[in-house]
Amino acid sequence: MAATNIEVWQQATVIETVAVATNIQRIVLEPASPKRAEPGSHLDVFVTVNGERQKRSYSVVDSTDDGSRVAISVLQAPLSRGGSIFMHSLNPGDTLEITQPLQNFPLRVGAPSYVLLAGGIGVTAIVNMARVLRKLGAKYTLVYAARSRERMAYLPELHALHGDNLRVHIDDEGTELSVAELVGSVDQQTELYMCGPIRLMDAVRRAWRERELTYPNLRFETFGNSGWYDPEEFIVRVPRLGVETRVSAGRSMLEALEDAGVEMMFDCRKGECGLCEVKVLALEGAIDHRDVFYSERQQHTAATMCCCVSRALTSPSGLQADAARGGLAIVTIAVS
């Protein structure tokens, strides 16, 4: 296993919890061993789901300079795997196990111009970057898109701080974001940082490629947590190792394989690096590729998958699977 960050775990006390939009809770934490949180950083947090400890990642929205207070914001999604329900149940005085701030989405200072693109709850990864760029006097545009105004955390604060640098797109107000227009307005030197739903990020990546813009200038945070389809339980088989295990809707295939004693390679656990790639030998069902590592063509072939985020499902069209296999998709794989 390789690591881009060293995880230093510590206790943190919940200082404040407050709703900042529909189903979005801001949670302020006081860590036992504070460390400065750079823009783009996140915390890993242990949550308890059905009595089981599971890890989740949340962007640092803001923090004090010395890191003694760190704020995150958590969306309780209707299809929550349980982690966000746990986070929403926290109250001041509760304690949590968290890492010091980890960094997989660094802001490169010094670009001639920036576009920061936030889709929905993805704004949590972008807020701090925008604040820093403003402070530095950088040329930037903050683009914030969501389905409805009530679901937009921090909107008044962003308006107040960024003024004309903020562009807001709200689907149900008829001001949807046009990805083609946005990417069409970017020049070769502009760096675009984005975090949001996979559909939005895929569309931006496609438009970016079509315009033949410099690929390293497109940077994104995924957290590997939003797919094209709802997560389902499925079965994974590794014939060479005699392993067959179930992957519950709230676990990743990588976690399930690790639990079953399979030694796995991984790094980002977010569908970005490709290190957790497994070869698909057989498939009963379909694959919901949730990575940003493969090209569209590679995803179509379904010959491999990034098991840290991608999942199997019975059918993308929602048809019922063969009852003989208990209604579950089955993916048979080889691990390297």
What does the binding site for ligand FES look like in residue numbers (CB under 6 A)? 266-269, 271-276, 291, 293, 306, 308
Nearest to 143 by CA among 110, 185, 102, 105: 185
| Smallest distance, ligand FES to C-beta of residue 293, A | 5
Chain-centroid distance, C-alpha 100: 18
Q: What CA–CA distance (Å, rounded) separates 119 from 121?
A: 6
- H-helix segments, 83-126: 83-88
Distance between CA atoms of residues 169 and 118, nearest Å = 10
Q: Which helix (H) or strand (E) holds 280?
A: strand 277-284
Q: Minimal distance in Å, beta carbon 264 to ligand FES? A: 9
Element housing 14 (H / E): strand 9-21
Which residue number, 67 or 271, has a Cβ lying nearer to ligand FES? 271
Nearer to ligand FES, 1 or 323 (CB): 1
Of residues 62 and 277, the one with the C-beta less far from ligand FES: 277
Q: 44 or 291: whose CB is closer to ligand FES?
A: 291
Residue nearer to ligand FES on the CB measure, 152 or 309: 309
**Alpha-carbon span 120 to 218, nearest angstrom:** 19
In the complex, minimum distance from the CB of residue 132 to ligand FES, in angstroms, rounded to a whole number: 26
The Cα–Cα gap between 183 and 196 comes to 16
Tell me which residue has tokens 């302020």: 28
At closest approach, how far in Å is the CB of 267 from ligand FES? 5
- Supply the minimum distance, in Å, between the C-beta of residue 189 and ligand FES: 29
